[in-house]
Amino acid sequence: MEMKGLFSKVIIGILVIVVAVAAFFVIQGIGKGNTGINPSVQVTTITPTPSVTAPKFEIITLSVPECPDCFAIDAFAYVLQENGAKVNQQKFTYSSEEGKKLLKQFNITKVPTIIISGDVDKVKDLEALLIKAGEKFGSQYVLKDIAPPYLDLTTGKVVGKVDFTTIYEPGCVACKHSTVPIYGDALNSSQLAEYLKQVYGIVANSDKEFTAQSKEGSELIQKYSITMLPAIIVSKDIETYPEFATAFKRIGTIESDGNYILRNLNPPFYNLTSGKEEGKITMVFIKAGASCEPSCYDYTVHVGALTQLGVVASTTLYYDYDSPVGKNFTKIYNITKVPTLLISPEVKGNAAFMFVHKQIGEFEKDGWFVFRNFEVLEESAYFDLALNKTVTTPKLPATAQ
């Protein structure tokens, strides 16, 4: 079972356990079909045994009604039942009389949680997983390594709801294209909170925006010595998502109050010291013109690929290779294949692009980047100026695709 990053504690605490139980059901021939269980579980050599009795489990859930964003504990019993287990479930709120007794009995400090017992020995390695995820009390197991958000009963506070604050310069129109380089993605700075919630499950407590000129914005700029905008302040609650805390450290700073400041955004950005926009990127497309179009590859495919890396042009220019300006570009940069793309030196401020640029082209002495590796365009046509004919790139080897 694979998701894009956010397993941290929950993969050990809950989902791995579900996989282990479901694997047992499938092996015994009693599991249901499309359950979302990892298809890598190898069961093809197992002969189903119709006489096997499905495991029985007793599950007690302690919920937190006032925290709708907290972990969905009912999903645990649901997945077990969907895979053929017989589940007897009791539901209590943590603040009910019965809930309070259970909290005290099992020394529970984080809710919601699950107490499970039953045919644990019928599923291979299940007991070890349950102990790793929590604690054993006689024949019962209490899950204590719960994924955020959760209610910390020692402090009375919900842990794992993150505050996002963006400070921006309204006069910098190009800065709207600034992106956050994280986990191979270039996330639009104005959509960071929603993106992390939808894709990674991080829950936002608030998502605010302030201009640099506002009272709140100017105070935050001074407090954290911010020199480039946009800047994003992420509350220290992000530490409950360890993988993202690590990623954010690479693109910003951790302040004395525990908050994270995302400072190293991809260009363009606004320099508060100089009062100028910086990092505005220019793209120049050198077209093949009548010599090859429309049979040549669609050069606009570069735009989509670059956007994924957070490279967005403030200015885009187009010239036929045989036009006066086109001839000048082909001569200065020794361009022999068209259509192609040139990107201004400001692109060097984009970390994601710098990581992959050698695979697709090279930087010239004046800092401009030229796309030259046409071989990455599988079975695509281009016009070779030296040969004066159209050439089609070969199919990539299977290992290169």
Residue among 99, 95, 94 nearest 112 (CA): 94
Q: Taking residues 40-55, what's their average pLDDT? A: 44
Higher pLDDT, 145 or 97: 97
A 10 A CB-CB count for 2 gives: 8
pLDDT at 241 over 60: yes
Higher pLDDT, 9 or 352: 352
101 pLDDT tier (thresholds 50, 70, 90): very high
- pLDDT at position 13 is 37
pLDDT at 259 over 70: yes
- pLDDT at position 351 is 79
- Give percent of the chain with pLDDT exceeding 90: 47
pLDDT at 224 over 90: yes
362 pLDDT tier (thresholds 50, 70, 90): very high
pLDDT at 9 over 50: no
* All structural domains of the chain with their residue ranges: 10-152, 160-271, 280-400
Specify the CATH number of the domain 10-152. Answer: 3.40.30
pLDDT tens-digit profile of 154-211? 999 999 999 999 999 998 887 876 777 665 556 666 677 777 777 667 888 998 999 9
**234 near 262, Cβ under 8 Å?**
yes
- pLDDT at position 399 is 56
- pLDDT at position 189 is 63
- pLDDT at position 325 is 96
CA distance 320 to 345: 22
pLDDT at 273 over 90: yes
pLDDT at 219 over 70: yes
Do 10-152 and 160-271 fold alike per CATH? yes
Across 32-36, 107-111, 277-281, 302-306, the highest mean pLDDT is recorded for 107-111
Topology of domain 160-271, per CATH? Glutaredoxin (3.40.30)
